[in-house]
């Protein structure tokens, strides 16, 4: 693969250099004797954008006339281009140039009238043919019953005793005086200034130093006919060689990819065959397309796929996660369906169905309108949750994890508990989601073997990162839960780079004040009465859950008891941290918590609906 990539880069570099020699901006014509089209003009249908200057685009119509596009969609044909004098003569292919005048506005065009003497003309429509002798008429605009005349504004103001009751004023145009007597419109341009290059016998083109803020030009030699004819031959031979090798390498890679994808497909189909008794609804890919209305409403995107909003035929809103083909070799899909597909709990998101059709895989979940917990608990949240809501949400999450650990035939270890993976229903009831990293193990096992660390930094238990702290087990989910609870209490990430070094690790900062001489003042200022008690209870539970040793952490069953019991029964846990002396004002932080229902510290927000 790396050799193929290097070869492809080499080919691209080669043709980039070759492109300097082989000019892709050669002059063109629409017809044999038509005007030559070259810089600053370009044929927009045949030449790259860098071959021309903004405002000078032309095209060839069906009659092979050279048509210039002016502002406001005005199109006129080009009769002649003088590149030395920087002038262009235009005409109307329909032989009625005056018809274009009401729509002609050159204020935004690099092209301007050649004549600097311009007049205000008024176009009038007269039903009386006798009026035609008074002013300059335009037969091409009228018919037997209407006659169009052009009158200068001064003539209009001085018509005096003339009877113009049969005439209707139409438009006022500001054009050179002689335009009403000629078939051609003469324009000039000052930018780009190429007359100097033309005087030296050279041509003009955009400089490679041009930026989005401005366009620079440079003089270049006229192309050499012999050299230009050899270029395609040399380039063609080199291109042929590169294409042959590239196609051959692509075929080999496609074969390898096809074989790998086929193995993944067989793996998933075998799993689904074994899973028939418990499987949710299986959808076809056409069903998924219909449910999501052709993937019209995107909810979020992450490492494993994109999530779209959809609706089932029974008017139930759903969230559809379309999995990336390159992620997990089917492991994400199998983990989700094998774990969440077999359980039903009020605090676990429900898997309604799935799709496995060739390389296309999707998961269909119940739709939860309030997005994730992460959206509400940090300082930047537009809507904050009160302490009672935080308590109820924490208890619901704890019950959901307890069910995963104890309520199924096998233990389900989530390994990615964090605010982003807690979704909230219409009544802010929590539901655990995203089982892509989950593992199944028997309840008799003391732990599971981890080949690589699983989870999100900041929530990963020490034993998941290193066997020094023990084996990964259900206690690893307890640790992640504890970190999340402390974030809910503090309203900030557990590691915040924007605070002083001695206060960076928030759980340690809280513990140092939990039982200090400031402790009573700390909790009293959170909010009076019941809310202060809730904050203290959640903090103590969170600190118990993040003990370094898995043996010192409670089970989720014990956590539920602690959350439902009385405050007097709670015991402050051992200190798992090194002693620090935080110096910031406790009162200031607590007052911020009182104002916003969460401590006023920066946070990092994610926009994904699931950690897809």
**Residues known to be catalytic:** 416
Angle, helix 387-406 to helix 530-545, in steps of 10 degrees: 30
* DSSP string computed for 584-611: S-HHHHHHHHHHHSS----------SS-
Show Cβ contacts of residue 525 under 8 Å, excluding neighbours closer than 6 positions.
532, 586, 587, 590, 591, 594
Rg over alpha carbons for the chain, rounded to the nearest Å, is 38
Residue 124: its H or E element: strand 118-126
Task: Using alpha carbons only, give the angle 495, 497, 503 rounded to the nearest 5 degrees.
Answer: 65
Looking only at the bridges linking them, the beta strands covering 351-357 and 281-282 are: parallel
402 annotated as a binding-site residue: no
Which pair of tokens denotes residue 280? Answer: 């949710």
Among candidate residues 94, 49, 106, the one with its CA nearest the CA of residue 67? 94
On whether the CB atoms of residues 90 and 75 are closer than 8 A, the answer is no
Tokens of 490: 């503090």
3-state secondary structure of 373: coil
Residue indicated by tokens 């650990």: 405
Q: Which of 437, 428, 426 is nearest to 377 (CA)?
A: 428
- Residue that has been written with the tokens 């390498």 in this structure: 249
Query: Is 360 within 8 Å of 321 (Cβ atoms)?
Result: no
Pairing outcome for strands 167-176 and 118-126: antiparallel
Query: Is the torsion defined by CA of 550, 554, 556, 559 positive or negative?
Result: negative
CA distances in angstroms from 419 to 96, 462, 464, 488, listed in the order given: 70, 19, 19, 9
Cα-based distances in Å from 31 to 26, 39, 45, 48, 80:
15, 18, 15, 20, 13
Cα–Cα dist 350/344, whole Å? 7
Q: Are 129 and 149 in contact (CB under 8 A)?
A: no
- DSSP-derived secondary structure letter, 390: H
Q: Are 485 and 510 in contact (CB under 8 A)?
A: no
Name 119's Cβ contacts closer than 8 Å, sequence gap at least 6.
Answer: 152, 153, 174, 175, 176, 177
CB atoms within 10 A of CB 87: 15
**Cβ 302 vs Cβ 611: under 8 Å:** yes
Cα dihedral 328, 331, 333, 338 in deg (nearest 10): -160
Collapsing DSSP to helix, strand or coil, 480 comes out as helix
- Given the structure tokens 């989910």, which residue do they identify? 477
Annotated binding residues for ATP: 321
Annotated binding residues: 321
């Amino acid at each position: 693969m790396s050799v193929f990539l290097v070869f492809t880069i080499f080919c691209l570099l080669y043709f980039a250099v070759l492109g300097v020699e082989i000019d892709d901006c050669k002059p063109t014509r629409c017809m044999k004797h038509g005007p030559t089209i070259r810089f600053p003009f370009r044929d927009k249908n045949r030449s790259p954008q860098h071959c021309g200057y903004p405002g000078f685009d032309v095209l060839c119509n069906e009659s092979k006339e050279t048509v210039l596009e002016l502002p406001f969609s005005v199109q006129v044909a080009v009769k002649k281009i003088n590149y030395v004098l920087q002038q262009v003569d235009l005409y109307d292919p329909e032989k009625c140039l005056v018809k274009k005048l009401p729509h002609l506005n050159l204020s935004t065009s690099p092209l301007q009238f050649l004549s600097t003497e311009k007049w205000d003309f008024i176009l009038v429509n007269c039903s009386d043919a006798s009026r035609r002798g008074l002013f300059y008429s335009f037969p091409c605009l009228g018919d037997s019953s209407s006659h169009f005349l052009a009158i200068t504004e001064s003539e209009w103001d001085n018509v005096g005793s003339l009877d113009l009751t049969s005439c209707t004023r139409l438009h006022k145009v500001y054009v050179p005086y002689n335009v009403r007597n000629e078939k051609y419109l003469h324009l000039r341009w000052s930018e780009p200034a190429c007359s100097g290059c033309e005087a030296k016998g050279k041509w003009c083109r955009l400089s490679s130093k041009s930026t989005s803020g401005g366009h620079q030009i440079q003089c270049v030699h006229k192309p050499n006919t012999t050299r230009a004819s050899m270029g395609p031959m040399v380039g063609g031979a080199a291109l042929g060689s590169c294409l042959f090798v590239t196609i051959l390498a692509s075929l080999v890679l496609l074969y390898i990819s096809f074989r790998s994808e086929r193995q993944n497909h067989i793996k998933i189909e075998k799993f689904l065959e074994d899973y028939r008794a418990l499987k949710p609804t299986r959808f076809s890919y056409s069903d998924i397309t219909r449910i999501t209305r052709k993937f019209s409403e995107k909810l979020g995107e992450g490492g494993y796929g994109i999530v779209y909003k959809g609706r089932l035929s029974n008017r139930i809103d759903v969230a559809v996660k379309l999995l990336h083909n390159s992620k997990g070799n089917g492991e994400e899909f199998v983990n989700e369906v094998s774990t969440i597909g077999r359980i039903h709990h009020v605090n676990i998101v429900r898997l309604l169905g799935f799709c496995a059709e060739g390389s296309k895989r999707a998961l269909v979940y119940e739709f939860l309108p309030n997005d994730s917990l992460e959206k509400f608990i940090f300082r930047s949240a537009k809507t904050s949750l009160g302490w009672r809501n935080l308590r109820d949400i924490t208890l619901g999450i704890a019950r959901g994890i307890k069910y995963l650990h104890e309520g199924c035939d096998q233990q389900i270890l989530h390994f990615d508990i964090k605010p982003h993976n807690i979704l909230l229903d219409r009544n802010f009831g929590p539901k655990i989601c995203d089982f892509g990293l989950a593992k199944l193990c028997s309840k008799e096992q003391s732990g599971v073997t981890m080949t690589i660390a699983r989870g999100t930094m900041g929530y990963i238990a020490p034993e998941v990162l290193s066997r020094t702290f023990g084996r990964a087990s259900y206690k690893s989910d307890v640790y992640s839960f504890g970190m999340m609870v402390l974030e809910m209490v503090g309203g900030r990430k557990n590691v915040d780079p924007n605070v002083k070094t001695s206060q960076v690790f928030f759980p340690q900062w809280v513990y140092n004040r939990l039982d200090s001489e400031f402790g009573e003042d700390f909790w009293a200022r959170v909010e009076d009465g019941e809310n202060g008690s809730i904050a203290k209870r959640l903090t103590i539970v969170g600190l118990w859950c993040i003990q370094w040793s898995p043996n010192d952490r409670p089970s989720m069953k014990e956590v539920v008891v602690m959350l439902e019991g009385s405050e007097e029964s709670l015991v402050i846990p051992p200190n798992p941290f090194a002693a620090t002396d935080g110096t910031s004002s406790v009162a200031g932080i607590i007052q911020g918590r009182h104002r916003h229902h969460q401590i006023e510290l920066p946070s990092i927000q994610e926009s994904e609906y699931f950690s897809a």
